[in-house]
């Protein structure tokens, strides 16, 4: 048992609901090797002074462009209870040599102190990892009566992962952590912090391919998540992916059990049937190997159907409640920037109509663009409008990847495509060459440079009742601002 784990006095069932502080000064000092200025307790952890809540521990991290020590006073002004710092301050604090190292140490201590019976799940993939993480949390939290924990937002890098671990309460029964990467070796380090019992790879696609030699290298980098598996751990991989065999070989080196999911006949968790459900979702029937399971997925799209198989496989592998997971999926709402749907007033026409705004503004790669466009095509609408931002980090083949979206755009029955960013010139050109394809109505295309330009195009063409408007692109394009102006 580690020194940190020894600090935990496990509560009995009688006092199971008694509130406990997240960390005490002594626990933080032991975990980080630092020195506490006084006794204190904290209920949260933050490194961004703008996000500090009452009772938080503020970590004064040194970044490339800013030094967190400059914001210590402001953090305490917002209610921070204490800070981790590299030089003394006139507030409760723990003094350490390196605050970044201290954050990692606190994350390791949080992982070490949870009960041996608790289960930790790690999630990665080229697309869908945040949605799968959120769905797993909803499923496991429901089944454990609020004893699940997960990384918030997309805190999935070398700072976000240890921060998410440091925020994990000692009483956690299920922890779900998203891990991302855009270079080889990053997941290898992150997964050794998380030490998952179950590791999920959602899919392999050419995301961040500009940093890799090809998709095989991406598969190898994603497969690094298996390196941190606890002994006898479970690896969950996509059976339908072109890199299935490569992932399976990597998983077999580290996992006690490898479970595949998908439509393929060899999938361990296999899709048997899917039919449309009221409200745009799907009624799914899956074969779990030793029985069948029927459940509803509230979110529309084939990608949600397939991802639900991974979710069910992970819940089962972690010892969670499949019934609760089914209920969670049936009630799952879209995430901001990742599929959230808004009903908005349509100013065009007589002003009494409404339109559907689909927010996919946070991220984009060729695979996620294709499935999202297919989802737009399946959305009942009088007119479909797509605002598509550039896909970033695609390397030397970026023109080809953008041009190849012409097929999905045409198939979706889009009436007006607004393409944003210089990289989208290739798609604009491809759509021009495809203009002779059979369409229910002529496809109108505007190619602009910025999100503000796209807003002006939407104002010009007008949003009418019955319209469905998809907004999707890499986060750096800034289409989130367009969503805020419309929603």
Write the DSSP symbol of residue 423: G
CA 168 to each of CA 161, 245, 424: distance values in angstroms, whole numbers, following the listed order: 11, 34, 41
What are the tens digits of pLDDT across the range 417-440? 999 999 999 999 999 866 544 444
Burial of residue 19, with CB atoms counted within 10 A of its CB: 0-12 exposed, 13-18 middle, 19 or more buried: exposed
Residues 271, 243: Cα–Cα separation, whole Å: 19
pLDDT value, residue 433: 67
Say if CB 190 and CB 136 are below 8 A apart. Answer: no
pLDDT value, residue 289: 92
What are the tens digits of pLDDT across the range 135-169? 999 999 999 999 999 998 878 999 999 999 999 99
Which tokens in the block code for residue 176? Answer: 């779900």
Positive or negative torsion for Cα 427, 430, 432, 435: negative
The 3-state DSSP class for residue 458 equals helix
What are the tens digits of pLDDT across the range 450-469? 999 999 999 999 999 999 99
Is there a single domain that holds both residue 304 and residue 370? Answer: no
CB atoms within 10 A of CB 334: 18
pLDDT value, residue 14: 37
Say if CB 210 and CB 354 are below 8 A apart. Answer: no
Residues 471, 345: Cα–Cα separation, whole Å: 17
Is there a single domain that holds both residue 322 and residue 296? Answer: yes
Is there a single domain that holds both residue 226 and residue 98? Answer: no
For the segment 228-249, the average pLDDT, to the nearest whole number, is 97
* Domain presence at residue 279: yes
Q: Is the pLDDT of residue 3 over 70?
A: no
Is there a single domain that holds both residue 202 and residue 277? Answer: yes
Predicted TM-score (pTM) of this structure: 0.85
For the segment 286-301, the average pLDDT, to the nearest whole number, is 94
Is there a single domain that holds both residue 55 and residue 203? Answer: no
Which has the minimum average pLDDT: 132-136, 213-217, 262-266? 213-217
pLDDT value, residue 5: 34
* Domain presence at residue 307: yes
Per-residue burial over 91-115, b if 16 or more Cβ lie within 10 Å, else e, is bbbbbbeebbebbbbbbbbbbbbbe
pLDDT value, residue 350: 56
CB atoms within 10 A of CB 185: 10
* Domain presence at residue 108: no
Write the DSSP symbol of residue 12: P
Contacts of 149 (CB under 8 A, 6+ apart): 137, 167, 168, 169, 172, 174, 175, 176
Residues 403, 408: Cα–Cα separation, whole Å: 10
More confident residue, 191 or 214: 191
For the segment 125-140, the average pLDDT, to the nearest whole number, is 94
Q: Is the pLDDT of residue 22 over 50?
A: yes
Write the DSSP symbol of residue 62: B
Intra-chain end-to-end CA distance of the chain, in Å? 51
pLDDT value, residue 210: 72
What are the tens digits of pLDDT across the range 402-418? 999 999 999 999 999 99
Residues 190, 169: Cα–Cα separation, whole Å: 19
Q: Is the pLDDT of residue 228 over 80?
A: yes
Work out the pLDDT band at 1, boundaries 50, 70, 90. Answer: very low
Is there a single domain that holds both residue 346 and residue 265? Answer: no
Residues 191, 303: Cα–Cα separation, whole Å: 25
DSSP-assigned states of every residue in 221-256: HHGGGGGGPPTT-EEEEETTSTTHHHHHHHHHTT-S
pLDDT value, residue 367: 87
pLDDT value, residue 17: 53
* Domain presence at residue 402: yes
pLDDT value, residue 205: 85
User: What CATH number should be reported for the domain holding residue 308?
Assistant: 3.40.1190.10
Is there a single domain that holds both residue 283 and residue 313? Answer: yes
Long-range CB contact pairs, 285-294, < 8 A, 24+: 286/312, 288/312, 288/313, 288/316, 293/322, 293/326
Q: Is the pLDDT of residue 470 over 70?
A: yes
Is there a single domain that holds both residue 362 and residue 327? Answer: no
pLDDT value, residue 439: 44
For the segment 378-391, the average pLDDT, to the nearest whole number, is 94
pLDDT value, residue 77: 96
- Among the listed residues 52, 55, 69, 57, the one whose alpha carbon sits nearest the alpha carbon of residue 28: 57
Residue with tokens 């992962």: 161
Is there a single domain that holds both residue 362 and residue 256? Answer: no
Query: What range does the domain containing 376 cover?
Result: 340-486
User: Residue 399: CA atoms inside 13 Å, Cβ hemisphere, count?
Assistant: 5
For the segment 242-247, the average pLDDT, to the nearest whole number, is 96
Say if CB 70 and CB 62 are below 8 A apart. Answer: no
Q: Is the pLDDT of residue 86 over 60?
A: yes
pLDDT value, residue 349: 59
pLDDT value, residue 7: 37
For the segment 17-41, the average pLDDT, to the nearest whole number, is 92
Work out the mean pLDDT of the chain and round it to a whole number: 91
* Domain presence at residue 131: yes
Last residue of a domain, one of 291, 307, 331: 331
How many domains does the chain fold into? Answer: 3
Is there a single domain that holds both residue 73 and residue 160? Answer: no
Is there a single domain that holds both residue 160 and residue 277? Answer: yes
Q: Is the pLDDT of residue 484 over 70?
A: yes
pLDDT value, residue 125: 94
* Domain presence at residue 449: yes
Residues 316, 330: Cα–Cα separation, whole Å: 17
Positive or negative torsion for Cα 414, 419, 425, 426: negative
User: What CATH number should be reported for the domain holding residue 478?
Assistant: 3.90.190.20
* Domain presence at residue 24: yes
Last residue of a domain, one of 289, 309, 331: 331
SS (H, E, C) 112-130: HHCCCCCEEEEEECCCCHH
pLDDT value, residue 9: 39
* Domain presence at residue 109: no
User: What CATH number should be reported for the domain holding residue 34?
Assistant: 3.40.1390.10
Is there a single domain that holds both residue 318 and residue 418? Answer: no
Last residue of a domain, one of 289, 312, 331: 331
């Amino acid at each position: 048992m580690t020194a940190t784990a020894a600090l935990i006095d496990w509560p009995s069932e009688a006092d199971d609901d008694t509130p406990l502080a997240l960390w005490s000064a002594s626990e933080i000092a032991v975990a980080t090797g630092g020195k506490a200025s006084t006794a204190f307790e904290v209920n949260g952890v933050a490194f961004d002074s703008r996000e500090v809540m009452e009772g938080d521990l503020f970590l004064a991290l040194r970044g490339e462009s800013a030094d967190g020590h400059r914001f210590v006073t402001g953090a305490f002004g917002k209610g921070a209870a204490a800070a981790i710092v590299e030089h003394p301050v006139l507030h409760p604090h723990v003094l350490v040599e390196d605050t970044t190292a201290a954050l990692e140490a606190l994350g390791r201590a949080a992982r070490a102190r949870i009960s041996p019976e608790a289960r930790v799940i790690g999630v990665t993939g080229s697309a869908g990892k945040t949605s799968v993480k959120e769905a797993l949390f909803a499923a496991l939290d429901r089944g454990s009566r609020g004893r699940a924990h997960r990384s918030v937002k997309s805190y999935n890098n070398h700072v976000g992962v240890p921060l998410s671990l440091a925020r994990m309460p000692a009483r956690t029964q299920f922890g779900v952590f998203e891990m991302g990467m855009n270079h080889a070796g990053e997941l290898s380090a992150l997964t050794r912090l998380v030490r998952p019992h179950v590791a999920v790879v959602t899919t392999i696609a050419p995301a961040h391919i500009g940093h890799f030699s090809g998709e095989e290298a991406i598969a190898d980098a994603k497969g690094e998540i298996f390196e941190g598996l606890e002994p006898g751990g479970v690896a969950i991989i996509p059976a339908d992916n072109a890199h299935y065999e490569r992932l399976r070989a990597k998983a077999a080196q580290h996992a006690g059990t490898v479970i595949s999911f998908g439509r393929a006949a060899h999938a361990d968790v296999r899709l048997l049937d899917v039919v449309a459900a009221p409200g745009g979702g799907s009624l799914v029937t899956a074969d779990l190997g030793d029985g069948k399971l029927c459940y509803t997925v509230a979110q529309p799209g084939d990608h949600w159907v397939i991802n639900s198989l991974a979710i069910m496989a992970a819940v089962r592998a972690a010892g969670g409640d499949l019934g609760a997971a089914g209920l969670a999926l049936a009630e799952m709402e879209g995430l901001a920037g990742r599929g959230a749907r808004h009903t908005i007033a349509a100013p065009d026409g007589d002003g009494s109509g409404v339109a559907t705004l689909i927010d996919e503004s946070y991220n984009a790669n060729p695979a996620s663009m294709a499935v999202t466009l297919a989802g737009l095509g399946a959305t009942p609408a009088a007119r479909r409008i797509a605002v598509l931002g550039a896909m970033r980090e695609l390397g030397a083949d970026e023109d080809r990847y953008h041009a190849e979206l012409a097929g999905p755009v045409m198939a979706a029955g889009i009436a007006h495509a607004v393409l944003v960013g210089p990289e989208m010139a290739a798609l604009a050109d491809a759509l021009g060459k495809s203009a002779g394809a059979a369409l229910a109505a002529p496809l109108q295309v505007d190619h602009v440079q910025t999100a503000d330009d796209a807003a002006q195009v939407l104002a010009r063409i007008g949003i009418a009742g019955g319209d469905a408007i998809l907004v999707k692109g890499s986060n750096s394009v800034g289409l989130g601002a367009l969503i805020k102006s419309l929603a």
